[in-house]
């Protein structure tokens, strides 16, 4: 019994000493930025997941009309900034320089920073970071179901970085952070990502992302082909479902593989529509335009007659 007590006391002293050592380490201050709009179902859980390690929380809002801002305002460290949303990268690049601290963590409202990841971030910022930016892997969920395979298996994003050395670049809403010094590390622990909860939400994302990508391709002079419209989506499904293993995610995996294929097709279809589609005419607009033109011509003729008289 005495031996067990001695072991317990020794263990307690070691743990307590480790905590005191950690407390003595000066963690570099951290600003956390959450870009959001109408995220009342997510914002509280998102903030609470990292609140203990944040020195500042910036809510970058793009026009919420629900209770998102009211909920966010309940937290003392929160500062709200607002601006129109154009693209994800553009919006985040506007928010990043407004952080008060050198180190920035970007967290989307549908993401959660797990306790283990919080601890790793604290340790990294306490011992003197070796890099200027860090990849963080994500555990992706599809309508609440955890995905283990497909693109979700290796999904990683650069989210922790020095404020003045990281900016989003890329041709679409899925641009990635580029670190100017090229010094990028990787964190071991993962964040949780609830990517989509229902198909209405999913179709809205697909519409926004594919339209933006197609518009940018069209501006660059690109066009689609039969191969891109027909074969590429099928290859995308096969890659996701067979080679990347989504088949092992059950019925959720079937859906995510088809969604990936549809996303690939949709980008090409929208590109064709922009380049070759004929907009539907408005008969009323044509009718009233003709009347307006005739009226202008009549006025002009009357002016000529008055001058001749």
Query: In this predicted model, what pLDDT tens digit does every residue of 249-263 receive, in sequence order?
Result: 999 999 999 999 999
Classify the C-alpha dihedral 207-211-212-213 as positive or negative.
Answer: positive
* C-beta atoms surrounding 167 within 10 Å: 17
Q: What is the pTM of this model?
A: 0.80
Residue 129 reports pLDDT greater than 80: yes
pLDDT value for 175 = 78
Tokens linked to 144: 């609440």
Q: How confident is the model at residue 188 (pLDDT cuts 50, 70, 90)?
A: very high
pLDDT value for 31 = 98
Residue 165 reports pLDDT greater than 50: yes
Cβ burial 42-78 (10 Å sphere, 16+ → b, else e)? bbbebbebbbebbebbbbbbeebeeebbebbeebeeb
Token pair 């892997």 in the structure block, residue: 137
Q: What is the mean pLDDT of residues 154-170?
A: 94
Average pLDDT score, the chain: 88
Give the percent of the chain with pLDDT over 70.
83
Q: What is the mean pLDDT of residues 70-96?
A: 95
pLDDT value for 17 = 46
Q: How confident is the model at residue 18 (pLDDT cuts 50, 70, 90)?
A: very low
pLDDT value for 27 = 81
C-alpha to C-alpha distances, 59 to 39, 92, 104, 145, nearest whole angstrom = 11, 11, 13, 28
Q: Which residues make Cβ contacts (< 8 Å) with residue 25, sequence separation at least 6?
A: 126, 127
Residue 277 reports pLDDT greater than 70: yes
Residue 92 reports pLDDT greater than 70: yes
Residue 291 reports pLDDT greater than 80: no
Residue 52 reports pLDDT greater than 50: yes
Residue 171 reports pLDDT greater than 80: no
pLDDT value for 232 = 97
CATH 3.90.550.10 placement within the chain: 2-196
How does pLDDT run across 2-13, given as a tens digit for each residue?
454 454 444 444
pLDDT value for 40 = 97
C-alpha to C-alpha distances, 95 to 34, 55, 85, 191, 216, nearest whole angstrom = 9, 16, 11, 21, 23
Q: What is the mean pLDDT of residues 49-73?
A: 97
pLDDT value for 301 = 66
Q: What is the mean pLDDT of residues 83-87?
A: 91
Residue 105 reports pLDDT greater than 50: yes
Residue 158 and residue 176 in contact, taking contact as beta carbons nearer than 8 Å: yes
CATH class of 2-196: alpha beta
Q: What is the mean pLDDT of residues 92-96?
A: 96
Q: What is the mean pLDDT of residues 197-204?
A: 94
Q: How confident is the model at residue 73 (pLDDT cuts 50, 70, 90)?
A: very high
């Amino acid at each position: 019994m005495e031996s067990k007590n001695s072991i317990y006391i020794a263990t307690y002293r070691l743990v307590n000493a480790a905590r005191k050592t950690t407390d003595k380490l000066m963690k570099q201050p951290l600003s956390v930025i959450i870009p959001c709009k109408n995220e009342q179902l997510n914002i509280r859980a998102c903030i609470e997941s990292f609140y203990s390690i944040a020195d500042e929380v910036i809510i970058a809002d793009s026009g919420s009309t629900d209770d998102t801002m009211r909920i966010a305002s309940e937290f003392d460290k929160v500062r709200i900034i607002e601006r129109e949303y154009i693209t994800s990268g553009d919006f985040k690049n506007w928010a990043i320089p407004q952080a008060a601290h050198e180190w920035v963590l970007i967290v989307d409202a549908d993401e959660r920073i797990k306790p283990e990841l919080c601890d790793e971030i604290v340790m990294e910022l306490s011992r003197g970071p070796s890099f200027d930016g860090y990849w963080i892997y994500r555990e992706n969920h599809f309508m609440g179901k955890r995905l283990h395979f497909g693109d979700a298996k290796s999904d990683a994003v650069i989210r922790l970085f020095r404020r003045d050395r990281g900016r989003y670049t890329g041709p679409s809403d899925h641009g990635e952070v580029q670190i100017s010094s090229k010094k990028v590390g990787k964190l071991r622990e993962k964040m949780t990502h609830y990517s989509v909860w229902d198909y209405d939400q999913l179709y809205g994302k697909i519409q926004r992302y594919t339209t933006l990508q197609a518009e940018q391709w069209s501006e660059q002079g690109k066009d689609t082909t039969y191969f891109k419209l027909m074969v590429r989506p099928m290859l995308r499904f096969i890659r996701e479902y067979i080679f990347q293993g989504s088949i092992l995610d059950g019925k959720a995996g079937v859906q995510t593989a088809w969604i990936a294929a549809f996303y690939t097709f949709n980008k090409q279809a929208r590109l064709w529509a922009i380049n070759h589609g004929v907009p539907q005419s408005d008969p009323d607009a044509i009718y009233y335009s003709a009347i307006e033109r005739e009226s202008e011509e009549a006025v002009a003729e009357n002016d000529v007659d008055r001058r001749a008289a």
